[in-house]
């Protein structure tokens, strides 16, 4: 365990110190105008991949989800160099929706981040919504279909490529009747509905309080 932890930490310490975090703040920053292109290089991708693999394998209390999202975004950043290369325009033409390298970079990073979320959580819709609502402030509606299709493909590969259970399915000891339908489970759904309603009301109250306080503060 110690050797695996050191194997994951040493490349971060010696090569790319910024690879020690989850990487999600860097994704949000670059998608909102911050110049963080130096954090989306091939060496950062390799170091973060080695680091998270060794850290999780060593048994440390860390999760692979954040680095997986960054790995997807970094892969998109690297692949954005292909369509933005002038040699490619000569043969295939430049898409009319793209103006320069920064547009390619933004679109490919947002797509890669959505693919990382879809692979980490098996949630392609959540990946697309993360890019729209949280990450990219300059998101275009034309990009939505591309992001969602890429997220679906990422989820399918992560789920089915390595076998029936998928590479991210953690094995949990369960009983023989775990998947057997029981009528008593219907009562559980009633509690789920109740919990959802309470949480929805709490969210609405939270938003109302924030809007009211912000309006009052702005009028002072």
Q: What is the pLDDT of residues 186-202, one digit of tens each?
A: 677 788 889 999 999 99
Determine the pLDDT at residue 189.
79
Determine the pLDDT at residue 121.
82
Structure tokens at 194: 């109740």
Please report, for residues 73, 158, 176, the alpha-carbon distance to residue 162 in angstroms, rounded to integers and kept in the order given.
22, 7, 24
Q: What is the pLDDT of residues 19-61, one digit of tens each?
A: 778 888 888 888 887 888 888 889 888 988 888 888 888 888 8
Rounded Cα distance between 152 and 129, Å, is: 13
User: Domain locations in the chain?
Assistant: 2-171, 173-220
Whole-angstrom Cα Rg for the chain: 21
CB 18, CB 44: distance < 8 Å = yes
Residues whose CB is less than 8 angstroms from the CB of residue 115 and which lie 6 or more positions away in sequence, other chains included: 72, 76, 127, 150, 151, 153, 154
Instruction: Reply yes or no on whether the pLDDT at 100 is more than 80.
Output: no
Q: What is the percent of the chain with per-residue pLDDT over 90, rounded to a whole number?
A: 13
Determine the pLDDT at residue 197.
93
Q: Which residue has the higher pLDDT, 169 or 50?
A: 50
As a whole number, mean pLDDT of residues 97-111 equals 77
CATH number given to 2-171:
1.10.3080.10
Confidence of residue 205 (pLDDT cuts 50, 70, 90): very high
pTM of the entire predicted model = 0.69
Give the torsion sign (CA, 96, 142, 100, 118): negative
72-109 residues labelled b (16+ CB within 10 A) or e (exposed): bbbbbbbebeebbeeeeeeeeeeeeebeeeebbbbbbb
Helix/strand/coil for 127 = helix
Determine the pLDDT at residue 207.
92
Confidence of residue 170 (pLDDT cuts 50, 70, 90): very low
Closest CA to 170 of 123, 121, 116: 121
Structure tokens at 16: 């790319």
Q: What is the pLDDT of residues 69-91, one digit of tens each?
A: 889 989 999 988 887 777 777 77
């Amino acid at each position: 365990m110690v050797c695996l932890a050191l194997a994951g930490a040493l490349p971060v310490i010696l090569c790319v110190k910024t690879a020690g975090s989850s990487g999600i703040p860097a994704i949000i920053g670059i998608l909102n105008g911050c110049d963080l292109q130096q954090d989306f290089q091939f060496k950062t991708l390799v170091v973060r991949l080695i680091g998270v693999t060794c850290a999780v394998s060593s048994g440390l209390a860390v999760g692979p989800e954040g680095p997986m999202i960054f790995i997807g975004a970094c892969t998109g950043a690297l692949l954005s160099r292909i369509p933005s290369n002038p040699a490619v325009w000569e043969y295939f033409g430049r898409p009319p929706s793209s103006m320069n390298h920064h547009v390619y970079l933004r679109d490919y990073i947002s797509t890669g981040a959505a693919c990382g979320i879809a692979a980490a959580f098996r949630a392609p819709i959540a990946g697309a919504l993360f890019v729209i609502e949280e990450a990219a402030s300059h998101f275009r509606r034309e990009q939505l279909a591309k992001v969602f299709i890429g997220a679906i493909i990422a989820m399918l590969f992560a789920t089915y490529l390595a076998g029936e259970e998928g590479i991210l399915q953690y094995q949990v000891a369960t009983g023989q009747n775990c998947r057997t339908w029981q009528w008593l489970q219907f009562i559980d759904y009633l509690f789920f509905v109740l919990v959802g309603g309470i949480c929805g009301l709490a969210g609405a109250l939270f938003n109302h309080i924030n809007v009211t306080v912000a309006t009052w503060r702005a009028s002072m």
